[in-house]
Amino acid sequence: MKTLFLILTVLTTYSHGEYTTTCERKVDVSQDRMNEVVNMFFNDMQTDINGLFKWAFKGTENDKKDSTRNTIQIKYKESYAEPERHYGKQVIDVIVPHFKTFKDISIESSYTDTTLEDRMRAIHLTIDYSGSLLKDASADFNTIPITDNSSYAQLTIRIKFGFFFNLFISRKMYINVIEWRINQMFENLCEMAEKGEVTVESLSEVQ
């Protein structure tokens, strides 16, 4: 079976109340190098999530060109992690400007890390939260070697919102507020792997 490696793709679908956003692209580094960055991301996500804004989340803060992208904001307040069992817990505030701030929301995360026979690395992240904002969320990050100096990276994020956000967030708003942040984060990971740093402040600034 032949595999088609796209240069850069981001696609969001919506079905039965669930948004699914997939980003995929060929990365001009070995799979080992890509995996180093993936390891750094998941470690920081559970132990130093604020540190991710220095690289992985760079450019995902308030958009200065399009204020509609700031409709939903998240403030990270506390984190707790048990890296040996791939478990983390974050406390956040979710801010909807000019409407309401949902304070001290506790979100737990855990992930599995598997290497398959074709050397494909498959990471599955599960988000656990009980409340009205989020019903279900998960993510899959896959890396596959192409050559010694190139690999394929794919990120898929699935989100089912709870009662409030299900009424509040339209498909257009999801793409404008959430999809572009997922895409920016994915591009940042790939750029970190290729260049050793993240230079793009925001995808919206270079389009």
Q: Read off the pLDDT band of 131 (50, 70, 90).
A: confident
Amino acid at 125: L
Q: Read off the pLDDT band of 4 (50, 70, 90).
A: very low
Q: Read off the pLDDT band of 118 (50, 70, 90).
A: confident
- Which helix (H) or strand (E) is 125 found in, with range? strand 121-128
Q: Any idea how long the chain is?
A: 207
Residue labelled with tokens 């990365």: 27
SS3 letters for 39-101?
A: HHHHHHHHHCHHHHHHCCCCCCCCCCCCHHHHCCEEEEEEEEEEHHHCEEEEEEEEEECCCEE
Amino acid at 5: F
